[in-house]
Amino acid sequence: MKICCRKLTLIVTCSLLVLQIAAQDSLRVFPTHWWVGMKNRNLQLIFYNNHKDLAVDKLVVQSGNTAIKIKKVNKVSNRHYLVVDVEIAAGAQPAKYEISFGGIIRSEWNHVFYELKPRSKQNGKTRIKGINSSDLIYLIMPDRFSNGDAGNDRIAGLRDQSLDRSDFFKRHGGDLKGIQNHLDYLQQLGVTTLWLNPVLLNDMPDRTEHGYAFTDHYTIDPRLGGATAYHELIDSLHKRGMKIIQDAVYNHVGIEHFLFRDMPDSSWFHWWPVYTNTTYKDQVLMDPYASQSDKKRMSDGWFTQTMPDVNQGNAFFANFLIQHAIWCTEEFGLDGWRIDTYAYNDLDFMNRCNQALLNEYPQLHMFGETWVHGIPNQSFFTRNKYNIPYKSNLPGVTDFQLNLYGIVPALTQAFGWTEGVNRLYLTATNDFVYTDATKNVIFLDNHDMSRFFSMVGEDVAKQKMGLAWLLTFRGIPQLYYGTEILMKGFSDPDGKVRLDFPGGWTGDGANKFEPGGRTPAENEVYNYVRTLANYRKTASALKTGKMMQFVPEDGVYVYFRYNNQQTVLCVMNTNDGEKEIDMHRFSERIKNFTRARSVIDGSELDITGNIKVPGKTVWVGELR
């Protein structure tokens, strides 16, 4: 309920900090601090004290300084909260400003020294640079990559104390310092960007290694090293010219989140007479025949019983989420966002959130998880060319279609009219529906899917084929940790797709970060990735060039990446045996060239006639 100015005295104080005040451990404010010079100078502050009423009947807020102007004070049902709309003055200077409020008894007043910081002058230069098709993303689950600081393995007071590497379903102790320790390995591999599974606090009783059940948006999980380790990792990345992507979860929170356990009011979450799960049926959102009840269950049903569904139609919660995204971007210098469970959010809210971020950071890249089935479904959630009522402003998506209905069947099915590598070709032909398909993130596997090496029957040749495709096709390539060293595992029934990276823990039997710790096959694949990924760094045709593909014939699929400076030929032979290919068919792309030099081994082919490509190979060569 909003406060009526005629029913209470309202004085607002925002004065420069000159004195220390008594510590108030229970009083918190969100966002914890802000910045001067933001394009949007409006801010909504949420004050919270879980031990004390803040919204007293006769509220008084003292005023004085003009740097922070109080525009409106809002009450919610739970008096532990006070929501205050403020405006940051255009000329406000970086400083700590006092905001004081309370009732008649002055000794019980609340005092907050709210800091306005200067924005980084490196935004858009060395930080917040955005992600594009020039990058190679490396996806890491922090708990399972490397333990760089054993001192944070268990944190007293947190609910989950189940550190046990012998149990797949318990925490293993990997952290941000462990990732930082291996930046040389990643950069030498050819990685330009890290995407980490969520780093925010997940103070849940169990199964917290994945991180997708936030319990406090403004705390970096101390078991990962906290905010200090996160800053240090990101600063190290940016000094190397590398980038960082943070994982966003807007759709739900963990059931132990303080906003759920001590709700401002019931309208902050979606409720049902009995527990109701989402149907996971994204089709209803675009189905012209869908019922409203099906749409509601899809969007408002809970993702799981331990992940309450956020009501993004609640203006206070919506502002909380949007401001947090902006806060993280500025605070840590994020270069991009991956948005979890995109289809389950309120899509109008998502457009508003995306636009708020882009208004402040036009160069920022965002891509949403769209684990859906069908190109129309996937393209519905990103910028597309459809003339339909709902138009998404999301720049890109995780391209599940090129995975599920592209590269996987290409390497696991026999060639047919619509099977095998024809499936990859056919899926790519539908890129016309996207405003810009190069902003989509392509991948072989991730933390929720079976490892690609297992999907192709632990066939090293096919693993290399998949990697060649990943690093030469259109879009932004994403590599899941360990794919380069043949890590394996199925998502069902054992779910062992999140095993530890061997060598990330003291005492590991083998250290796969070093050549001597890898098997010959692992080194073969690692070196293959390193060679192709580092070539890609300087190959303008692969990074930003156009693509031309030819209809597959007899299990052979040929495509080119090209621009005015460079042309790269990719020949995918999915057959077991060698194939001879008449290159005259591709004259419109090779008419000015006579030879092609292999990116992998430097060998050359005469492309004026026929060439022979071994079975189970993607031959990648630069035309000369």
User: Looking at the structure, do residues 514 and 550 belong to the same domain, yes or no?
Assistant: no
Q: What is the CATH number of the domain that holds 399?
A: 3.20.20.80
pTM of the model: 0.95
Q: What is the CATH number of the domain that holds 41?
A: 2.60.40.10
Query: Which residues, 6 or more positions from 98, have their beta carbon under 8 angstroms from its beta carbon?
Result: 13, 14, 15, 16, 17, 111, 112, 113, 114
Whether residue 128 lies inside any domain: the answer is no
Structure confidence by residue, pLDDT tens digits, 493-523:
777 899 999 999 999 999 999 999 999 999 9
User: Looking at the structure, do residues 466 and 581 belong to the same domain, yes or no?
Assistant: no
Distance of CA 89 to the CA centre of its chain: 33
| Cis, peptide link before residue 288, omega less than 30° from 0 | no
pLDDT band at 453 (very low <50, low <70, confident <90, very high): very high
Whether residue 4 lies inside any domain: the answer is no
Give the whole-number percent of the chain exceeding pLDDT 70: 95
Structure confidence by residue, pLDDT tens digits, 137-146:
999 999 999 9
Residue of 98, 216, 247, 369 marked active site: 369
User: Looking at the structure, do residues 17 and 147 belong to the same domain, yes or no?
Assistant: no
User: Looking at the structure, do residues 248 and 311 belong to the same domain, yes or no?
Assistant: yes
The pLDDT, as a whole number, for residue 18 is: 28
pLDDT band at 61 (very low <50, low <70, confident <90, very high): low
Domain span at residue 100?
13-117
Whether residue 31 lies inside any domain: the answer is yes
Q: How many residues does the chain have?
A: 624
Q: Taking 90 as the threshold, does the pLDDT of residue 40 lie above it?
A: yes
Structure confidence by residue, pLDDT tens digits, 230-252:
999 999 999 999 999 999 999 99
Whether residue 227 lies inside any domain: the answer is yes
The pLDDT, as a whole number, for residue 416 is: 97
d(CA 392, CA 434): 11
Answer yes or no: are the C-beta atoms of 3 and 75 closer than 8 Å: yes
Q: What is the CATH number of the domain that holds 570?
A: 2.60.40.1180
Q: Taking 70 as the threshold, does the pLDDT of residue 54 lie above it?
A: yes
Structure confidence by residue, pLDDT tens digits, 125-137:
999 999 999 999 9
Q: Of 511, 538, 565, which residue constitutes the final position of a domain?
A: 538
Structure confidence by residue, pLDDT tens digits, 461-495:
999 999 999 999 999 999 999 999 999 999 987 77
Q: Taking 90 as the threshold, does the pLDDT of residue 311 lie above it?
A: yes
Q: What is the mean pLDDT of the chain?
A: 94
The tokens for 368 are 């949403």
User: Looking at the structure, do residues 342 and 488 belong to the same domain, yes or no?
Assistant: yes
Whether residue 247 lies inside any domain: the answer is yes
Q: Taking 90 as the threshold, does the pLDDT of residue 103 lie above it?
A: no
d(CA 385, CA 358): 20
User: Looking at the structure, do residues 72 and 214 belong to the same domain, yes or no?
Assistant: no
The pLDDT, as a whole number, for residue 8 is: 28
Q: Taking 60 as the threshold, does the pLDDT of residue 407 lie above it?
A: yes
Whether residue 407 lies inside any domain: the answer is yes
d(CA 319, CA 57): 25
Rounded to an integer, the average pLDDT of 576-600 is 97
d(CA 496, CA 490): 6
Whether residue 28 lies inside any domain: the answer is yes
pLDDT band at 542 (very low <50, low <70, confident <90, very high): very high
User: Looking at the structure, do residues 98 and 160 belong to the same domain, yes or no?
Assistant: no
| Residue 331 is among the residues annotated as catalytic for this protein | no
| Residue 340 is among the residues annotated as catalytic for this protein | yes
Answer yes or no: are the C-beta atoms of 569 and 621 closer than 8 Å: yes
The pLDDT, as a whole number, for residue 64 is: 56
What is the number of structural domains in the chain? Answer: 3
Q: Taking 50 as the threshold, does the pLDDT of residue 11 lie above it?
A: no
Q: Taking 50 as the threshold, does the pLDDT of residue 115 lie above it?
A: yes
Q: Taking 70 as the threshold, does the pLDDT of residue 21 lie above it?
A: no
Answer yes or no: are the C-beta atoms of 317 and 106 closer than 8 Å: no
Answer yes or no: are the C-beta atoms of 265 and 76 closer than 8 Å: yes
User: Looking at the structure, do residues 523 and 616 belong to the same domain, yes or no?
Assistant: no
The pLDDT, as a whole number, for residue 422 is: 98
User: Looking at the structure, do residues 529 and 567 belong to the same domain, yes or no?
Assistant: no
DSSP letters for 486-534: T----TTTT--SSPPPTTSSTT-S--TTSGGGS-HHHHHHHHHHHHHHH
Q: Of 538, 565, 593, which residue constitutes the final position of a domain?
A: 538
Among the ranges given (2-11, 515-524, 531-540), the one the predictor scored with the smallest mean pLDDT: 2-11
Nearest C-alpha neighbor of 36 from the set 98, 92, 97: 92
Q: Taking 90 as the threshold, does the pLDDT of residue 373 lie above it?
A: yes
Whether residue 63 lies inside any domain: the answer is yes
Q: Of 510, 538, 566, which residue constitutes the final position of a domain?
A: 538
The tokens for 274 are 């009995």
Nearest C-alpha neighbor of 459 from the set 403, 521, 518: 521
User: Looking at the structure, do residues 477 and 330 belong to the same domain, yes or no?
Assistant: yes
Residue of 331, 340, 431, 622 marked active site: 340
Q: Taking 80 as the threshold, does the pLDDT of residue 4 lie above it?
A: no
User: Looking at the structure, do residues 516 and 618 belong to the same domain, yes or no?
Assistant: no
Q: What distances in angstroms separate CA 449 from CA 51, 183, 439, 455, 484, one per listed residue?
A: 43, 25, 22, 10, 16
- Strand ranges, E, within 283-372: 336-339, 365-368
Q: Taking 80 as the threshold, does the pLDDT of residue 572 lie above it?
A: yes
Amino acid at 514: E
The tokens for 555 are 């299990």
The tokens for 7 are 């029913």
User: Looking at the structure, do residues 305 and 423 belong to the same domain, yes or no?
Assistant: yes
